[in-house]
Each structure stands twice: as structure tokens, then as C-alpha cells.
Amino acid sequence: MSQTVSLLFGVHAHQPVGNFPEVMEDAHQRCYKPFFETVHRYPDFRFALHASGWLLEWLFTHHPEDMALLVEMAARGQVEFFGAGDMEPVLAAIPNRDRLSQLAAMSDRIEQIFGQRPRGAWLTERVWEATVVPALVDSGIEYVMVDDYHFLCAGVEKEKLNGYHTTEEEGRRLDLFPISEALRHRLPFTPAQEAIAFIEAQANDSTHAAAIYFDDIEKFGIWPETHQWVYQQGWLTQFIEGVLNSSLIQSRHFRDYHAASPTRGVVYLPNVSYSEMGEWTLPAPAAERYAELVRAAQHEGVLERDRQFIRGGIWKNFLTRYPEANWMHKRMLGLSARLASLPADQIRQDLVELLHEAQANDAYWHGLFGGIYLPHLRRAVWRALISLERRLDGLQTRPAQFSGDIDMDGIDEVFLSSLSLQAVLRPDKDASLIELSSYPLAQNFADTLKRYTEHYHAKARAGASSNHQGEGIASAHDAVRFKHEIKPDDLRPDTRSRGWFAETWTDFDAKRPVEYSSTVVQGGAVLCIGQAGEGKEATRVAKIYSVQDNRLTVALKAVGNGRLSTRLNIALPSCDGPAGRYVVNGEIPGGFGQTFTWNELKAVTLEDHYLGAAIKLETNRPARIRAQPHFTVSQSEAGFEKIMQAVELTLTWQAEDATEVQVRVDIVPLR
């Protein structure tokens, strides 16, 4: 029997729901189009493709001529399509009923377009929990892809990772293909002939030896330097021709290999994703300790042997790390339950599609790729959530005021709503608004992000460097690049919330936060009682929230002599773009990305021409108003960047004895 190895080659194509049109177009021109044009020239090169539903819809709408190549490759049997959740959710993070509907929507879409019903499925970010098995199997899925790292964490020997294994949950059988981490790190970064030689080295006398690759298609053109390397310098052409010309490599589909080859045996995997995710999901101190363990293992020369025992956190840790992600997630779960509780004849397709969009994974996490730091991705989730809630309210009324521990943090949040506006108060020490949603605009004006300490900030402080050595190009995991200048102050973490209305009291140049200790709901308003300082010198403060129509009203009362300040972080689509601007006394001083201070001012308007609406803020007493952008620093495959999260407005009044001020916020359409 001659020595051969089956190359099972798959790519995963995805763009987040709500991504910018120019980003989508750039991705197509640099990656999707040249990739499909290249593989189309080689009918004997078999490959698998998973493309998320939102991206497929965009590609067929904007580039049908290029998608015709994909349809042709499907007709001639060159490409095998993999299913998944339609809007690319992390299946482990959504209810089972939604797993089933997401998987069915994706499979229906593929069958309608390409005439194939997927037998395999892509797991978003390779997040594995055994709880997803029943939904996958009940949806007609026979096998999924996970990393070989998943298997190593279960103690499986490396020599057994050249084929698929079998698991079960509740008696339902699912087969698991281990993606080769070694191949992931080589393709397309090492020269094509080196990659071919690595695959050929896995050939043996068994007819069932397989080299298994399934990873982001964006590595073939979108990652830094890859477009020139993969297409202009011909890496992909060289790789495909090398595979087809090799006497040791057979280009095969997963479905054919699966049908012809036996399982390697039963396996039960722990809750895990790819190894990098284990580090990203840890808070900074734990991530640093994890990195120390990895460095120590490298120094001792045992990392390759012991990597599976040096394991970080799980994907769901992001919901603990980022309260903003947790709030979105728990609001999504609540709306999913409301939708499921409707009579069957009221569960319309448009409602299901909005729920699916709200479950898109990207805005819920952060690593080298996750997008919680990207306001436009969070905004897309909130747009879907708010639109769904508005429709559900039309079918199933709810109280204008209610409370409950929605995000499971031990504190009952308070909801105040009208037909047009909903304000959500978290009665913690700041007693600030964590949500201010406009139903007509489907916009959450409190959707911002605190400035956190991230483990990788140490790299930003150290400056640009790269761990890449040898031929080829550097992976985005190795290179350190800077899109913007990063200063020490940009990396200083926030110590308070970034919601609406967090107060500070200043006397004798000593600044103290106002800390609220009690909250009382009175009629349609919420009264918060707090103080700044301790003992006889403490300053007492009361705050009252109320909502009516499109207006939020906040009344503040302080007893003492000093200065009372309140801070609002206002999330707007045009945060640092030309469509967002201030209007003061009928004039336009500048845009949201600039810094201004106005003294003795009673009104300021924030116009967002992208949103088609404005926020009119008025106070009954003149205030000193400081406006500045709120930036965070994050890392993506393109490098370190500063991202404007919100407009930060700070209003300050001089207080004497008993001082009462009122702030009115109106959300109005632009004419």
C-alpha cells in the first residue's frame, strides 16, 4: 500500500453583523474575490467553506458575478459547504431553542443557494461545550470542527489526531475533526513548498491518514501583508499546484473522508476554545500569570509537551470580564424568552431574524479579533434588541416601571419606559443609567465601554516589536503594530462606571465621588439617596430620574457648599466623524472628537446627522460644561488603536447650602 495523506482543507469566511460597508468591500477585493478566482481555476482542488449568513447575503447582493463562481464550483462538486448558526452566534451562549433555529436558518440558506444540505458545521470561535451536541445532531449535523488543542486537553495522544473521533451527549452521536494547530500556524505564513512538505510528512501506509485544516479565509488577504504574499507573490497558486502535483497528497472533501473512514474512537472534550482564546478571556492579572507559566514552560523546553495542561479560561468568562457584554447578553436572553412565550401564530419570521442578529457573537467578546471594543458592532446588536423589544411590546404589553436582577449581579435594575424611551438604572454606588434606548431610533445612547486594563497593554507600553523569525511573513499573533500613538494616560483604567449621571462633589479642592446607598421607586420616578465623604463633613445628595415621551429628566439636590458635577457618557453613531457636531447658542463650535469648555451655559445640542436625530440637553441653572471624547485602547490584527466610545459631558454647578438643579434630555429628529 502506497503512502498517502488526505488533505482536508476548509476556510471560514465571516464579517460581523453591522460592519462598515467600506470594510466589507475592502475584504471582498483583497480576499474573497481573489481567493474564489484562484481556486476556481483548479477544479480538482477540493475545499470546504463556511460563510456566515450575513456575509453570504451581502456578497450575493453586492457581488453576484463573483458569487457565480462559487455556485459553479458547488455544481461541479469542488466545494463542500459547512453549516453553523446563521448569524454566527456562539452556540454555547444561546438557548437550545435558538441553537435549533439558527442552525436551521443557515442550512436552509445553503440548500436554497447551492443545492447542498450541510452535513458538517463550523463552531463559532471553536467554542466547545457538550451541551451543544443535541441541537447539532437534531439539526442534521454529523460532524464539526474543533482544534487539536481540544483533544490534547482531553489527554488524546497526538498520533491519533489525523482522523475524526466520536462523542455523544444524551445519547446523540456527533463526530469531531481535530484542526491541526501546526497547519494553522503555517498556512499561509510559511513558503508554499514548506507547507507542502509538512503535509507530505504526515503520509503513511494507512488509507485513513488526514491532514486537517480549517481556519479564517481572512488570513488569505486581509491580515497584514497577506494580500501581496498570497496573491501578488502567488502563494495560493503555488500551494494548490503543489498539492495537486504531489504523489503523497490526496485533495478530499470532509464528507467523503467521513463516509469512507472509521472513527478513531470515543472522546469527551472539556469546555474549551483554541489556545489563544484561553488567554484572551482571562482578566489582566490572571492573563499575566498565564503568560508567565507559558514563558516558564518555553524556557524549560516543555511547552510543546505540557501546553494542554496550561489552560486559560473559557469563552463565557467574557461575560464576567465585561459587564457591558453581560448586560447585552442577559437582555438578549430575556427577549428570547419573551419571544418563545408568544402563541405560535404570533412568532413571525422578522422577529426571529432580529433575535438571530442580536446573538451575533462579535460584540460580546474581545481578543485579537472579537469586537466588544468596536461601537458599531455593539450598536448592531442593540439595534436588533431594541427593534425586537419594540415589536414584542406591541404584541405583549409590560409595565412602564419594573425592577429585577436582569444581569445576575445581585442588584435589581430599575426600568423606566414610555412608548418612545427606556431608561435603565443600576442602583449601585453611582446610581447611573446603564441603558437609555430610543425605540423610534433603535439606539442605546448609554452603550459605551469603560477603559479597562488589558493584558496586552504591556506590549503597547514597550513599543513595536515582532517575534517573527525565518522566511515568509509574520502572523498577526506575532507582530506588534500601532495604528495610533498611544500615551500612558490612554491606558489608565476607569475606576467608575461610564453610564449617564455619575456625580462628584468638590470642596476645598478635594474631589469625592457621590456614593448612593438607597433607591426608592416613587410612582413613575426613581429617587436615589447618597452622600460624598463621611461623618459630619459629608455632603448629602439626592437624585431623581423620570421618563416621559422622548424626555429624560434628572433632578439633583445637594446640601453643602462646594461644586456638584455630573458626568454623562453619550454613545452616538457619529462619535468622531464629520456627521456629529455640537450646537451652542445657535453656532457650531466643532465635532464630537474635539474638546470644549463652556462657562455659564444652560443648553447644548448634540446633532448626529448619520442617526438623523439630536440630543438637546438643558439645565435650569447655568453650568460649566466640559465636552471631550472618551477613548479606549484595544488591539486588533491591524495593530493597537484608539477608538472613541462616547462623548463625555461633565456639568458642574457652584453649590451653596441647599442647591437644586434639573437636567432635561430630549431626543428629537433633525429637520
In the block, residue with C-alpha cell 442580536: 358
Instruction: Write down the catalytic residue from 216, 256, 412, 490.
Output: 216
Strands 165-169 and 47-51: unpaired
Q: What is the largest CA-CA distance in the chain?
A: 95
* Bridge partners, residue 639, by sequence: 636
Instruction: State the amino acid at position 111 in one-letter form.
Output: E
Catalytic, out of 80, 86, 125, 389? 125
Nearest by Cα to 630 from 588, 568, 542: 568
The one-letter code for the residue type at 138 is D
Tell the burial category of 550 from Cβ atoms under 10 Å away from its Cβ (0-12, 13-18, 19+): buried
Q: Which amino acid is at 621?
A: R
- Residue 117 is which amino acid? R
Q: Where are the alpha helices (DSSP H) in 63-191?
A: 64-75, 96-114, 133-138, 148-153, 181-186
**567 dihedral zone (left: phi>0; alpha: psi -120 to 50; beta):** beta
Looking at the DSSP bridge assignments, the partners of residue 143 are 120, 175
Give dist(CA 595, CA 606) in Å, integer: 13
216 is catalytic: yes
Please identify which residue in the block is written with the cell numbers 486559560.
312
CA angle 648/651/655 to nearest 5° reads 155
Residues present in the chain in total: 671
CB distance 141 to 83 below 8 Å: yes
The answer to whether 375 and 571 are in contact (CB under 8 A) is yes
280 and 317 Cβ atoms separated by less than 8 Å: no
608 is catalytic: no
* Active site positions, annotated: 125, 216
